[in-house]
Amino acid sequence: MTLRRSLTPWLAGFAVTFCVSCIDTLDSAWFTNEAVDAYHWPHNEVPKDHIEEVQLLGDTLEDDQGAPTLHGVWLHPCADDRPQDCPASSEFEPANRNKTLLYFHGQDKHLGAHWDRLQILWRMGYRVFAIDYRGYGRSTGQPSEAGLYADGRTALRHVLSRIAEERGIDLEEGELPRADILGVAYYGRSLGTTVAVDVATEFNPAALVLESPLASAQGFVDSAAGIGVSASVLMTSRFDNVSKLPFVIAPKLIMHGQEDDYVRFDFAELLFELATEPKEFFAVAGAGHGGVPCPDRDESVDAEEVPCVANSAYLEQVHSFFDQYLP
C-alpha cells in the first residue's frame, strides 16, 4: 500500500494521540520495498552482455548492525563494432552513448519493477546505472531516509570511480573526480528525486532531472490529511526537496503529470519556482504519477505486466535537455 493511501484514512482522527507510537510506522510507510533472491528484467530488450550487475559495500549508519551490501545494475550502450546490439528503436541516438545517467528509482519494490524506465533511457542511447537502496531487491539492511541518501552517495562513488578508471584519471586514495566535469547526470523519480537532490547538494551533477518530485514530507502530510499537523509530530522523515533544491547549481529539468493524484502537480511547480537557472519545466497533460513518459498507459496495471513506453514528447524533452547540458 502506498504512503498516501495508507495515511489518508487514519491521520485525520488520530494524529495527536498516537504521536509517539506511530512514528516508526509512518517512517516505514515511505518504503514499499520487496526483497528478491535474483533479479528478473521484465520485457527486456537489452542484450545480456550489456547488463552488468554489481555488488557494493554501503556506508554504516548509527543504528545499523553492519554495513549493507548494495546491488546495482549497469545498462551499457552498444559499441560501433557490434551494431546488432544497438536498439532498433527510432529514439536511439549514437552520440548519447558517451553520456552517463545515475538513476534513482521510486519507493516501490526493487530494480526489476523499474526496468521499463531504465530501458527507455537505454533505448535513447544513454549509459545508465541504477542502484537498489538498502532493503530493496537484493540489497541488505533496512531502508531509511538517511540510508537512501547514503546509498545514493555509494552509487555515485561507484560511477565516478568507474569512469575515472576507464579514462585513465589518476586519483589519490579516497579522492573522487567531479560529476559535473565527467558529464554525469542524475535522474530521480518520485521518492528517488529526494536522493538525487540530496546528493546534488554535495556533488554537483552535469544535469539534474526530477520526475514527479515531492516537495517535502510536510507537504505530503498536508496533502494526504489536511489536518495542519507538523510532519515532525508524525515521523522523523523530512525528504525536504524544498529547502535543498535552491542550493543545486546544476541545470534542472522538472517533469510532472498534471493528473497526478498521489504527488500533487503543484509540488513540481513550487520546486521549479524555487530552483535557480538554468531550469526547464515539462508538464504532461493527462499523466498520473506513473505516466510522465507514457501518459496513455493504464496505471492500474502493474508495470512489470505492461511496461511504460515513452511517447515522442517525453523523448524529445529529455533528449533536448541532455543534449544541451551533457558534453
Q: Which residues are catalytic?
A: 190, 260, 289
Measured distance CA(99)–CA(96) in Å, rounded: 5
Measured distance CA(7)–CA(26) in Å, rounded: 8
Chain centroid, CA 193 distance in Å: 5
Closest CA to 229 of 71, 37, 73, 11: 11
Burial environment of residue 56 by CB neighbours within 10 A (0 to 12, 13 to 18, 19 or more): middle
Closest CA to 212 of 198, 235, 237, 194: 194
Residue 33's beta-bridge partner residues?
109
Please report the DSSP string for 222-261 in residue order: HHHH-S---HHHH-S----HHHHGGG--S-EEEEEETT-S
Is the Cβ–Cβ distance between 115 and 121 less than 8 Å? no
Closest CA to 96 of 105, 86, 81: 86
